[in-house]
Amino acid sequence: MQNLQITIVYHSGFGHTKQVATVLAEAMQSHSALVEIRLLTVDEAIKSPELLHNSDTIVFGSPTYFGNVSAEFKKFMETTGGFWFSQKWKDKLAAGFTNSSTTGGDKLATLSSLSLFAAQHSMIWISQGVMPRFLCDQQTDGQNRLGSYLGLMVQSDNNLQEVNPMQSGDLLTTELFAKRIVDITLQYGKVLGT
């Protein structure tokens, strides 16, 4: 089987989303030598759409700004209209992640926008698939501590001067989500015989 391509396309205003994208990419690469991981900013993706056309899985990442994707990510979404009508991404796998400085922050609206974007391109969405952890009927700060199922949600600090390390539960959730994306990409590739 040839190596499968997973591309992460993201916008990062202050470095927090880039941190999540980088951790996700490193975790994906550590799970299998049969996948090649590519990180692209939205500007790079706009300039080289063929890199996305040749990907088996595309993971979309945007910070949540005012309850939705950033303007820069929205610009990227809209540039895909030039090939949307030909459905170049039909049946490709897709997933998404977002972050904001609060535990809620309306991140679900951002993930909804990303999954609708993928649906408009007739892509197949990979949900997070990571259950929250409970001890003595209390949810822990461990895996999926933000209780997201549509995609990965991360709480980032609000520091604009430097990017601090990710919260341990969010880091674990990111690693588990990375494994799920790789596993499903490999399963899908096997079914298609690629």
Instruction: Answer yes or no: is pLDDT of 1 > 60.
Output: no
| Upper half-sphere CA count for residue 136 (Cβ side, 13 Å) | 0
Q: Is the pLDDT score of 136 beyond 90?
A: no
Separate counts of helices (H) and strands (E) for the chain: 7, 8
Domain count, the chain: 1
For 72, other C-beta atoms within 10 Å of its C-beta total: 18
Q: Please report the pLDDT score of residue 194 as a whole number.
A: 63
pLDDT at 160 over 90: no
**Integer Cα distance of 177 and 27 in angstroms:** 9
Instruction: Specify the pLDDT at position 13.
Output: 94
Q: What is the pLDDT of residue 159?
A: 79
Give the pLDDT of residue 191.
72
CB 7 within 8 A of CB 59: yes
Kindly state the average pLDDT of the residues 94-112: 96
- 3-state class (DSSP) for residue 131: coil
User: Is residue 156 scored above 60 in pLDDT?
Assistant: yes
Find the CATH number of the domain harbouring 185: 3.40.50.360
8 Å CB contact between 174 and 144: no
